[in-house]
Structure 1
Amino acid sequence: MGFCWSRECGNRPCWAGHYVPCHAGWVGPTVLLCIYGFCSMMRPIEPFVAVFLTGTYKNLTTEQVTSQVIPVWTYSSAVLLVPVLLVTDFLRYKPVIVLQGLTYVTAFLLILVGSGVHWAQLAFFIYSIAMAADVAYFSYIYSVVPPSYYQRVTGYVRAAILLGYAAGALLAQLLVSFGVPLYYLAIVTLISVSIALITSCFLPMPKTSLFFNEAYSADQTKSSVDVNNSESWNFWGKSETAAKYVGRMFRTLILDCKKCYSSTMMLFFCIWAATGRCGFYQVSSYIQVLWVHIQPNNFTAYNGGVDAISTLSGAAASVAVGHVSLEWSVWGELVLGGFTLLIAGALFLMDLTSNIWISYTFYFLFKTIYMPLTTICTFQIAKKLNRRRYALVFGLNSFVGTVLQSVLTAVVINTKSVQLPITSQFITYASYFAAISLLFTVRGVYTVLHMKAARRRETTTCQRAHTCDEFV
């Protein structure tokens, strides 16, 4: 028994275990999660991590960073994403968020003090754990706030993430422009993610899970009955309950997958979300290597400024697209196809130029277009989903995108018979987006023509029915 922090019990003692440490019930967790998101994303070293690794600090070669270090993050993410997705709900989110903060600290500490390829690989492997734990961050808030605040809280959390990333990139650019060594950018990054880790420890622990709570509750109830009725309850009984829970969880996952992907329209939005994620992270991972190729040993590069401006521009475009009045179920696929073609064109031109400023400009265009397109996919998918399936579908989309990225990395970079140079890699990425554009343009034209034909038939049927009514 204790005081009711959420004020649900008024001035009476709380017997119900209301635990959210905020008089409004949602402000406290939201503020803490926004601080965590801002600090964990404010990583000034990231826009210059390739320069840091290949410079005098670590003395790695561009080929080592391209083919031995960065692919570790790609492959590890593909392996870790599903286990983390399954464990996150069972552990009720907060422990996984704390783990994410801890892995961020560990990864950037290794980047700061480690030396050699193996230390860099270990840092990127640990970093992949943090990236896989993103599903816990985006799911946690829905387990501690009332549904009426979901839209507002989601907006705050996403704004904190984008502002943190933009602030980190802008701070990096300012420090580099004033001649501050990259070593100190790594220190600032380590301090920022350490604050995020400390903040995560103060997040309230959800009482129940969000997605498999019913299955777990049923098994727990059954277990309680067994405890009361039998003195032989022991470890094996608990193991049996856990096995039943896992079995029910997987059956629920399979049924939910069937329901979620039964709609052809939603399936295509999921396809773009997965394939777009693959291409975006592949380009983002290797863009610094391309810039090092275009302008070697350029300590006064403007990588951070470009990252900051393109992030803010993409965020503004994402907000704007949310206010566009368009029948997305009809025109959405065609819009995705058309703008994906612009992305492909930007990548082609980014690769062909030898001018760093032109390359910066087309990267800005690439990122500004991608972010609103992924926003379109997100809200179109969310419209069709039950709340409890959000993490499942978005997690599966992320998993498919990461697997595709691993395959693309293996083929383009790590196949000994191929091992394309960085310029040829970007030609491949541009061709990849062009293929996606072709698929969605064809599908979009078919959808528009099909919907127009269906409406024509519906209008004709209504007119005939009206005529028959007048005749009668």
Structure 2
Amino acid sequence: MPESWLFPTVLLCIYGFFSNFRPSEPFLTAFLLGPDKNLTETQVVNEIYPLWTYSYLVLLIPVFLATDYLRYKPLLILQAGSLIVTYAMLVKAQGVVAMQVLEFFFGIATATDIAYYSYIYSVVEQAQYQKVTGFCRSVTLLGSSIGSLLGQVLVSAGQVPLLYLSVITLLCACIAFLTPWFLPMPAKSLFFHHKDTHAHENGGSLEPTTDPQGDSLECKVPLNSEGDGAHEKDSSGLTEVLRMLWADFRQSYSCSTLVAWSVWWALSTCGYFQVVNYVQALWEKILPSKEFHIYNGYVETISTLLGALAAFAVGYMKVSWEVWGELALCTFSVVIAASVYVMDTIMNIWVCYVSYVIFRATYMLLITIATYQIATNLSMKRYALVFGVNTLIALLLQTLLTVIVVDTSGLGLDILQQFLIYAIYFAVIAVIFLVAGLYKWRRTRSGPPQVALPEETSVIGNGSPAAGQKEDTDCHDDYL
């Protein structure tokens, strides 16, 4: 019945819109450096902002397990409450320590974001997954874009003080807090409270599948694999869940195609987080907001919308990613590295703005392709695990980068030196996938020639198709 998915989807969309409606977000660094908080650049960049990275990393695994064990809804309430605390402190609190505590609560809100994207799959039928995912993801982008646009209009046209933008963001967080209480409590979850749904999972088949472009998906990992017997119970203990996760992890990452895309995911997401987190400090360095009417809100709005458009275009690309994957990752990583380098070296705010828009749109394009490539090779349950692992690795790398480059306990570099390192970092990623692409090309050229014979698709020997025999081995020797 439509009502079974429509009601929670509408509530979740309302929650996603208001929790991401943050007019203060594009002006956060300017607000902290301004007269309201009166903090220095070193305090903001090197002492306050790193706390978000550390708290996100520490909380990610416990929140992942708690989200599933508590069945999503309590974590949505925790996320909304954390946002209220975050923006209430942004409005009222003063000093470095208070802002560090604020970053910790924002880390809780970020880590619990997994509950938002997981909840809907526990209360709707699988046939509605694509529809409700599209609704939820687009409404968060819409909320973020409209929030940034409103913030810019209020600052530019209305000369509204930045403090008032934080107040508006706090009010929206309070509205979002009311929504999760009315959501129905799911009866099941993926791991701790699991009911047998094998008949409804695509992953249960061992037959090779084909993507919309006609490419063979040779790494499709079946859901009904070793270790799934525990899923037939209504619930599982922590030890059993961890054992099951480890078995799923080993089988999922046995596919080299998935590993290649996951490597890019983890490496690039680490760099993306660093650039997005600190770019406002770079803008302030190039042209302080005290001397210039900043247009951060417009830039965030345009980059978000272009990124969403690029992500939408992925669904219509007729590209064989099995063949061109590494080349695409290398080429676009070069574009990202060049964008960050231009932001850092050409001390012009307009060039910096344009480079940032190119950077975000390119990353969103590639991360959408990577997400699609990983998801098509996994069942629903396993790609939630893989996405979590990839994010964890990205956060570990980001923490290492933050400790060495940003934190005052490490090098404590200024913002220009930081962005030079980030540009080099993305250039290294491009080189990694250039080498991977050349290695794959060399193996393809040196391998035995493939002769297309009519009998290749006929049943031979013991009844197995010859083409199917090739499919069983490709997954493990094509990539890195």
Question: Contact 2:191 / 2:241 at 8 angstroms: preserved in 1?
Answer: no
Question: Contact 1:98 / 1:200 at 8 angstroms: preserved in 2?
Answer: yes
Give the alignment partner of residue 89 of structure 1, picking from 68, 75, 82.
Answer: 68
* Structure 2 match to 1:154: 133
The 5 A counterparts of 1:119-198 are 119-178=98-157, 179-198=159-178
* Structure 2 match to 1:203: 183
Give the SS at the match of 1:458.
coil
Give the alignment partner of residue 90 of structure 2, picking from 94, 111, 122.
Answer: 111
For the pair 1:424 / 2:417, whether they are aligned, the reply is yes
Give the SS at the match of 2:175.
helix
* Structure 1 match to 2:433: 440
Deviation at 1:464, TM superposition (A): 11
* Structure 2 match to 1:225: none
Work out the CA distance in 2 between the residues paired with 1:463 and 1:450.
26
What letter matches 2:400 in structure 1?
V
What letter matches 2:316 in structure 1?
H
What letter matches 1:202 in structure 2?
F
Work out the CA distance in 1 between the residues paired with 2:410 and 2:392.
27
Q: What's the C-alpha RMSD, in Å, of the aligned pairs? A: 2.3
Work out the CA distance in 1 between the residues paired with 2:139 and 2:423.
31
For the pair 1:78 / 2:57, whether they are aligned, the reply is yes
Structure (1/2) with the larger helix percentage: 1
Deviations 1:114-165 (A, max 9, x none): 0011111111100000000011111111101100011111111110111111
Give the alignment partner of residue 43 of structure 1, picking from 16, 19, 22.
Answer: 22
The 5 A counterparts of 1:307-456 are 307-414=300-407, 416=409, 418-451=411-444
Using a 3 Å threshold, how does the CA distance of structure 1 residues 244 and 24 change in structure 2: closer, same or farther? closer
What letter matches 2:248 in structure 1?
D
Using a 3 Å threshold, how does the CA distance of structure 1 residues 417 and 91 change in structure 2: closer, same or farther? closer
Using a 3 Å threshold, how does the CA distance of structure 1 residues 404 and 443 change in structure 2: closer, same or farther? same
Using a 3 Å threshold, how does the CA distance of structure 1 residues 55 and 161 change in structure 2: closer, same or farther? same
Work out the CA distance in 2 between the residues paired with 1:358 and 1:161.
28
Percent identity of equivalent pairs: 44
What letter matches 2:182 in structure 1?
F
Question: Contact 2:82 / 2:108 at 8 angstroms: preserved in 1?
Answer: yes
Q: TM-score, normalised by structure 1?
A: 0.85
Deviation at 1:319, TM superposition (A): 0.5
Work out the CA distance in 1 between the residues paired with 2:53 and 2:273.
9
Question: Contact 2:17 / 2:143 at 8 angstroms: preserved in 1?
Answer: yes
Ranges in structure 2 where 5+ consecutive residues have no aligned partner: 198-232, 459-480
Deviation at 1:214, TM superposition (A): 4.1
Using a 3 Å threshold, how does the CA distance of structure 1 residues 57 and 117 change in structure 2: closer, same or farther? same
Deviation at 1:60, TM superposition (A): 0.5
Using a 3 Å threshold, how does the CA distance of structure 1 residues 118 and 142 change in structure 2: closer, same or farther? same
What letter matches 1:430 in structure 2?
A
What letter matches 2:253 in structure 1?
Y
Work out the CA distance in 1 between the residues paired with 2:132 and 2:444.
36
Work out the CA distance in 1 between the residues paired with 2:410 and 2:11.
50
What letter matches 2:286 in structure 1?
I
* Equivalent residues, number: 421
Using a 3 Å threshold, how does the CA distance of structure 1 residues 255 and 170 change in structure 2: closer, same or farther? same
* Structure 1 match to 2:254: 262
Deviation at 1:463, TM superposition (A): 9.4
* Structure 2 match to 1:236: none
Work out the CA distance in 2 between the residues paired with 1:177 and 1:197.
30
* Structure 2 match to 1:287: 279
Ranges in structure 1 where 5+ consecutive residues have no aligned partner: 1-5, 7-22, 218-240, 467-472
Q: TM-score, normalised by structure 2?
A: 0.84
Deviation at 1:24, TM superposition (A): 3.0
Greater CA drift, 456-465 or 186-195: 456-465
Question: Contact 1:110 / 1:119 at 8 angstroms: preserved in 2?
Answer: yes
Deviations 1:317-374 (A, max 9, x none): 1101221011112212221111011000011011001111110010011001000100
Question: Contact 2:188 / 2:195 at 8 angstroms: preserved in 1?
Answer: no
Using a 3 Å threshold, how does the CA distance of structure 1 residues 207 and 420 change in structure 2: closer, same or farther? same
* Structure 1 match to 2:203: none
Question: Contact 1:266 / 1:381 at 8 angstroms: preserved in 2?
Answer: yes
Question: Contact 2:17 / 2:140 at 8 angstroms: preserved in 1?
Answer: yes
Question: Contact 1:212 / 1:249 at 8 angstroms: preserved in 2?
Answer: yes
Question: Contact 1:43 / 1:168 at 8 angstroms: preserved in 2?
Answer: yes
Greater CA drift, 386-395 or 69-78: 386-395
